[in-house]
Structure 1
Amino acid sequence: MSLQQRKLEVLKEQKKTYLKLLFPAKGQTKPALRFAGFEDEWKEVKLGEVGETYTGLSGKTKEDFGHGEGKFITYVNVFNNPLTDLYGLDSIEIDDKQRRVQYGDVLFTTSSETPEDVGLSSVWMGTEDNVYLNSFCFGYRPQKGIFDLYYLAFVLRSFSVRKEFMLLAQGISRFNISKTKVMDMSIHVPSLPEQEAIGYFFQDLDKAIAKQEEKVNQLKENKQTLLRKMFI
Structure 2
Amino acid sequence: MNNEKQKLVPAFRFPEFENDREWKALTIEDIANVNTGGKDTQDKINNGKYPFFVRSQTIEKINSFSFDGEAILTSGDGVGVGKIYHYIIGKFDYHQRVYCLFNFKNQVSGKFVYYYFSEHFYRRVMQLSAKNSVDSVRRAMITEMPIYLPSFSEQQKIVNCLSSLDAILKVEIEKLDHLKDHKKGLLQQLFPIEGKSKPQFRFPEFKNDRDWEVSTLNKISSSIFDGTHQTPKYTKKGIPFFSVENLISGRKNKYISREDYLYETRNNKPEFGDVLITRIGNIGTPKVVDWEYEFSIYVTLAVVKKSEKFDSYYLQAYIQSSRFQNEILRRSLLKAAPCKINMDELRKCEVLLPSNKKEQQKIANCISTADELIESQIHKIKALKKHKKGLMQQLFPNVNSLVI
The alpha-carbon deviation at position 173 of structure 1 amounts to 4.8
The gaps in structure 1 that reach 5 residues or longer are none
In structure 1, what is the Cα distance between the partners aligned to 2:353 and 2:279?
Answer: 24
The question of whether the paired residues in 1 share the 8 Å contact of 2:226 and 2:299 is answered with yes
Q: 1:60 to 1:173 in 2, by over 3 A?
A: closer
Matched residue of 2:264: which SS? Answer: coil
Q: 1:221 to 1:127 in 2, by over 3 A?
A: closer
Q: Give the one of 327, 330, 335 matched to 1:167.
A: 330
Q: Give the one of 220, 245, 259 matched to 1:50.
A: 220
In structure 2, what is the Cα distance between the partners aligned to 1:97 and 1:126?
Answer: 21
Q: Which deviates the most, 201-210 or 166-175? A: 166-175
In structure 1, what is the Cα distance between the partners aligned to 2:194 and 2:200?
Answer: 12
Counterpart of 1:194, as a letter, is E
In structure 2, what is the Cα distance between the partners aligned to 1:66 and 1:15?
Answer: 39
The question of whether the paired residues in 2 share the 8 Å contact of 1:74 and 1:88 is answered with no
Matched residue of 1:120: which SS? Answer: strand
Aligned counterpart, 2:385? 220
Matched residue of 1:108: which SS? Answer: strand
In structure 2, what is the Cα distance between the partners aligned to 1:157 and 1:106?
Answer: 12
Which of structures 1 and 2 has the larger relative contact order (alpha carbons within 8 angstroms, sep 6+)? 1
Counterpart of 2:220, as a letter, is V
1:62-101 → structure 2 map (5 Å cutoff): 64-78=233-247, 80=248, 85=250, 88=252, 90-94=254-258, 95=260, 96-99=262-265, 100-101=269-270
Aligned counterpart, 2:288? 123
In structure 2, what is the Cα distance between the partners aligned to 1:67 and 1:229?
Answer: 36
Aligned counterpart, 2:165? none
TM-score normalised over the length of structure 2? 0.51
Which whole-Å deviations, capped at 9, do the CAs of 1:144-194 have from their partners, x for residues lacking one? 211111111111111110011111111425322111111112211112111
TM-score normalised over the length of structure 1? 0.85
In structure 2, what is the Cα distance between the partners aligned to 1:93 and 1:199?
Answer: 35
The alpha-carbon deviation at position 47 of structure 1 amounts to 1.2
The gaps in structure 2 that reach 5 residues or longer are 1-167, 398-404
1:20 aligns with 2:20: no
The question of whether the paired residues in 2 share the 8 Å contact of 1:108 and 1:138 is answered with yes
Aligned counterpart, 1:155? 318
Q: Give the one of 341, 349, 357 matched to 1:177.
A: 341
In structure 1, what is the Cα distance between the partners aligned to 2:285 and 2:372?
Answer: 20
Aligned counterpart, 1:187? 351
In structure 2, what is the Cα distance between the partners aligned to 1:4 and 1:121?
Answer: 26
The alpha-carbon deviation at position 10 of structure 1 amounts to 0.5
| Identical-residue share of aligned pairs (%) | 24
Extract structure 1 runs of 4+ deviating beyond 6 A.
Answer: none
Q: Give the one of 354, 357, 362 matched to 1:197.
A: 362
In structure 2, what is the Cα distance between the partners aligned to 1:55 and 1:218?
Answer: 36
Aligned length: 219
The question of whether the paired residues in 1 share the 8 Å contact of 2:314 and 2:361 is answered with yes
The question of whether the paired residues in 2 share the 8 Å contact of 1:74 and 1:89 is answered with no
1:110 aligns with 2:279: yes
In structure 1, what is the Cα distance between the partners aligned to 2:174 and 2:231?
Answer: 45
Q: 1:186 to 1:171 in 2, by over 3 A?
A: closer
Q: 1:67 to 1:226 in 2, by over 3 A?
A: closer
The question of whether the paired residues in 2 share the 8 Å contact of 1:77 and 1:88 is answered with yes
